[in-house]
Amino acid sequence: MRPRSLRFVVVFLFCLVLAAGAARAGDGNVSSAQPETGGHLIMGSIGEPSNLIPYLASDSASAEVAGLLYTSPLEYDKDFNIVKCAAEEWEVLEGGLFMRFRLKEGLVWQDGHPLTADDVTFTYKLMTDPKTPTAYAADFLNVKEYRQTGPLSFEVRYDAPYARAAITWMHPILPRHILEHENIASTRYARNPVGAGPFKLKSWEPGSRIVLEANDRYFKGRPYLDEIIYRIIPDSTTMFLEARAGKLDFTGLSPQQYLRQTSGEWWDKNWRKYKYLAFGYTYLGLNQKSPFFKDKKGRQALSFAIDREGIIKGALLGMGEPAFGPYKPGTWVYNTALKAYDYDPERARRLLAEAGWTPGKDGILEKDGLPFEFTILVNQGNNERIKVAVILQQMFRAVGVKVAIRTVEWAAFLKEFVDTRKFDALILAWNILDDPDIYDVWHSSAIAGNGLNFVGFSNEEVDRLLEKGRTSADRQVRKAVYDRFQEILHEEQPYLFLYVPYSLPMVQARFQGIQPAPAGITYNLDRWWVPRALQQ
Residues 6+ apart with CB under 8 A from 299: 286, 293, 492, 493, 494, 496
Q: What is the amino acid identity at position 104? A: K
How many CB atoms neighbour CB 448 within 10 A?
9
pTM of the model: 0.77
Assess contact for 433 and 400: CB atoms under 8 A: no
Q: Which of 19-28, 271-280, 448-457 has the lowest mean pLDDT?
A: 19-28
Residue 106 region by backbone torsions, left for phi larger than 0, else alpha for psi between -120 and 50, else beta: left
Q: Which of 518, 453, 527, 471 lies closest to 159, judged by CA?
A: 471
Assess contact for 269 and 28: CB atoms under 8 A: yes
Averaged over 408-432, what is the pLDDT? 92
Q: Which of 101, 120, 107 lies closest to 172, judged by CA?
A: 120
> Would you call 267 helix, strand, or coil by DSSP?
helix
Averaged over 353-361, what is the pLDDT? 95
Burial class (CB in 10 A: 0-12, 13-18, 19+), 159: exposed
pLDDT, one tens digit per residue, over 432-481 is: 777 899 999 999 999 988 789 999 999 999 999 999 998 887 889 999 99
- At 265, give phi and psi (nearest 5°): -60, -45
Averaged over 423-430, what is the pLDDT? 96
pLDDT, one tens digit per residue, over 491-523 is: 999 999 999 999 899 999 999 999 988 888 999
Mean pLDDT estimate for the chain:
91
Task: Report the pLDDT value the prediction gives residue 7, as an integer from 0 to 100.
Answer: 32
How many CB atoms neighbour CB 266 within 10 A?
12
- 9: pLDDT strictly greater than 80: no
d(C-alpha 382, C-alpha 366), whole Å? 32
Q: Which of 400, 454, 452, 447 lies closest to 425, judged by CA?
A: 454
d(C-alpha 252, C-alpha 531), whole Å? 23
Q: What is the amino acid identity at position 500? A: V
Averaged over 221-241, what is the pLDDT? 95
- 24: pLDDT strictly greater than 90: no
Burial class (CB in 10 A: 0-12, 13-18, 19+), 371: middle
Residues 6+ apart with CB under 8 A from 212: 65, 68, 69, 199, 200, 201, 202, 227, 228, 229, 230
Q: What is the amino acid identity at position 119? A: D
d(C-alpha 348, C-alpha 374), whole Å? 17
Which domains does the chain carry? 16-69+197-274+504-534 (3.40.190.10), 74-178 (3.90.76.10), 280-502 (3.10.105.10)
- 70: pLDDT strictly greater than 90: yes
Helix axes 345-354, 296-304, angle to 10 degrees: 170
According to DSSP, residue 29 is labeled -
CA distances, 261 to each of 281, 361, 386, 492 (Å): 25, 44, 20, 41
Assess contact for 486 and 475: CB atoms under 8 A: no
Averaged over 37-66, what is the pLDDT? 91
pLDDT bracket for residue 135 (50, 70, 90): confident
CA distances, 109 to each of 71, 183, 441 (Å): 10, 20, 32
End-to-end Cα distance, the chain:
36
Averaged over 11-19, what is the pLDDT? 30
Helix axes 475-492, 460-469, angle to 10 degrees: 160
The C-alpha R_g of the chain, in whole angstroms, comes to: 24
Residues 6+ apart with CB under 8 A from 501: 278, 280, 282, 316, 319, 320, 384, 429
Task: Report the pLDDT value the prediction gives residue 25, as an integer from 0 to 100.
Answer: 32
pLDDT, one tens digit per residue, over 75-129 is: 999 988 899 999 999 999 998 999 999 999 999 999 999 999 999 999 999 999 9
